[in-house]
Structure 1
Amino acid sequence: MKRRRFRVRHSVNRPPTPDAADDQQKQPSLHEIINIKMIESGEKERLMELLKERLIDCGWKDEMQNLCRAFIKKEGRNNVTLDELIRAITPKGRASVPDSVKAELLQRIQTFLVSAAL
């Protein structure tokens, strides 16, 4: 009787066995944990609404609209993509957010973290 030898073929569809190092990489960071908690509690949405209100109240939104219009006028309406507009305006927009708005949001985030015991 002849013995047949079978070659072991590795399945293309089978995922590799996870290593312990892979498990550590899947652990969410503190930033991700905080983001998840803020979304689940609805605090992130409340903070976004507060930010919108404050930016409108201080005139930041109007200022950004004017910057966008000026950039489009300078470059020509048909020569500007949204990505180019965003790249041009974002640094100015971030730099011009009033410190009082940043401080208020930071205080609200800190209060949330204390109340959530994170």
Structure 2
Amino acid sequence: MRASVNRPPTPDGDEEKAAEPTLQEIINIKLIESGEKEKLKELLRERLIECGWKDEMKGYCRALTRKRGRADVTLDELIRTITPKGRSSVPDSVKAELLQRIRSFLLSAAL
């Protein structure tokens, strides 16, 4: 049988199943609705400043722009370059504290 070029394909039943949110999406929604996500972000900012991570990243960015030349570095390139180093250099104690706070939230929210 020939397919019609004037008619869009009939959607599969799989598309309806994809409309249900995943567990990660549900957790994210609950964090946002409760205001806990903003509290966690603020806690993360405080801890990263306290441990010197922010200053370390700022210095790394400055060194990178000096090395390549200020005019030759774009923001996107800078972000792409420092992101892996930034993520790997977050102290384990900060990660553990945030994880504990998230677990406590999930237990209290009964998810």
Equivalent residues, number: 106
If you compute each CA radius of gyration, which structure gives the higher value, 1 or 2? 1
Moved over 4 A (4+): 16-19
Residue 21 of structure 1: CA displacement? 2.1
- Equivalent of 1:26, from 7, 15, 19? 19
Taking structure 1 as the reference length, the TM-score comes to 0.84
Distance across 2 between alignment mates of 1:21 and 1:63: 47
Taking structure 2 as the reference length, the TM-score comes to 0.89
> Which structure's relative contact order is higher, taking Cα pairs within 8 Å and 6+ residues apart?
2
- Equivalent of 2:51, from 39, 48, 58? 58
Unaligned runs of 5+ in 1: 1-9
Percent sequence identity is 70
Unaligned runs of 5+ in 2: 1-5
* Equivalent in the alignment of 1:92: 85
- RMSD over equivalenced CA pairs, Å: 1.6
- Equivalent of 1:42, from 12, 35, 53? 35
Distance across 2 between alignment mates of 1:89 and 1:19: 42
Indicate the SS of the match to 1:84.
helix
Q: Does 1:115 align with 2:88?
A: no
Residue 18 of structure 1: CA displacement? 5.9
Distance across 2 between alignment mates of 1:87 and 1:18: 37
Indicate the SS of the match to 1:56.
helix
